[in-house]
Chains A and B, each alone.
Chain A
Amino acid sequence: MFFSSPPPAPASASAAAPEESPRASGGWLARLRSGLKRSSDTLSSGLKNVFARRTLDQAALEELEDLLIQADLGPKPAARLVKDLGATRLDKTVTDAEVRAILAESLASILAPCAKPLEIDPTKKPFVVLMVGVNGNGKTTTVGKLAHGYREQGLSVLLAAADTFRAAAVEQLVAWGERTGCPVVVGPPKGDAAAVAFRAYEQARAEGRDLLLVDTAGRLHTHDNLMQELAKIGRVLKKIDPEAPHATLLVLDATTGQNAHAQVETFKALTPISGLIVTKLDGSAKGGVLVALADRFGLPIVAVGVGEGVSDLRPFDATAFARALVGLEDDRQSKQELDMSCRGDEEPST
């Protein structure tokens, strides 16, 4: 599991698989890859057309740059990667596979330092994790998945529904609480979010919980007053323990484009961010902005969300991500695995 408290060996597929249940073990890597595969489809089919076997000239490099831009890498990292490629290979005849391998390597070298799981300090009881992000990027769902993962590890988890703004957000978290067997602390609708967080913290301490996950309301980083409310939650938690929250995770939607930069920047300015969780990587979005973010901020990427099910939160594997992004994995076999296993543990509808 990616969230084990002593950091696991570099999150490689084979190391993580045995800890999973037998049915899921064949499936999850395939699911991640398949999720990413969808992401990389456009990029890789484009690559095939560009580099079937031809001379790597300026025009070809420009096309390559376009492809990277379409994967949401952003103009600057795209230009840099292409420049690296041009420096070594210009005017040589290259194959599709070669170009992909080189690209994957450069992408992975940018991403690798960021592939770090969240470390839960067992001496903190409870270890308080604050979940933040803009609206609609999957915070509440991610809290549910995290709760499930840590429960599986035998930690005792308490959830705090500090999203008092959005209609029925509390009910949504309560449903996740029931699903994962974690109690949820709630407050009155439109009440004070900080008060809910504070009460939850006190309760978690009294009950000797290992982990407190605080779900906050989604807020656009441009809304100053909402950002101040977030700061207040942090301040109030510090009254109990000056070190709290022990981790603040920024949830980021993979479909987000270059605005992700502004989001990370603003949230980071307000509160120290311990890591990112990237959601919705099972869609058609390429998540290429991650490369740009890794390049610029170097924040740990704690986990990636690849589906709506309780167990659809995965460790971030830089190499696998990079290789899948350029379409280097052969997925014919894993796709079959996917078809068999993926639907099986899909969420029961409520």
Chain B
Amino acid sequence: MERPLTPEAFKEALPYAGIAVEAVLVALLVHGRVYRRLPVFFWFMTWNLCCDATMLFAFCRVSVDAYLRFYLVSLTLETLLEFAVLAELGLVVLRYNRARAPRRSMLLLLLMVATLLVWSLARWSAPQNLPQLSQLYIHMRQAFAILRVAFLLAIAWWNSLQDLRWPDEALRVATGIGFYSIVELAVNIAHTRQSYGPAYQYLDEAMVLSYLGTVFYWVLSFGQKEEKRQKIAAQT
């Protein structure tokens, strides 16, 4: 007999769906040899897939504290990889336009302005009814969300100043990162005004859904390109 899709069942299915979509994306990146053109992005997605699978496996087997510690480490590494992906996109755009790298001072200035702008949004608070480790986790998420949007803004401003073109692949990756970064920032800011409860969790789920939506968008766009390439090959 079929089980109805209750909110609880949906919540339980989310991590599995995430891992499945990530696995499909990694397979597409290998199949389309995207790992050659965007190696850091490929490793970023592979890292996410491995981490999510490990955490799902470890969730029922280890204590909450051990789980959170592992999660904090993986979150830090994931964010560092994400910044590396953004830097990789910048380099890809420079190569594509045969342009010279911008002065470090200019990039720093843009990054500082962007960080100041986005930082002014944060209130640096976490629900007091949560354990200390969870509060640290929330503060880290807020800081990373702010820095990621600041980094994206700096890239967009620099790109507007230089009038550079973007290869389609790089633009797709930037679009995805931009989308879930904005959602994550908005959710993190909303969290600073909430106490821990069902509404708090709904917003967390919205954040997970935005990430899943992004991975799904990447699957569609990288898959479509592969389909088109095969059609052209078949015609010739």
Q: Is this pair of chains taken from one and the same complex?
A: no
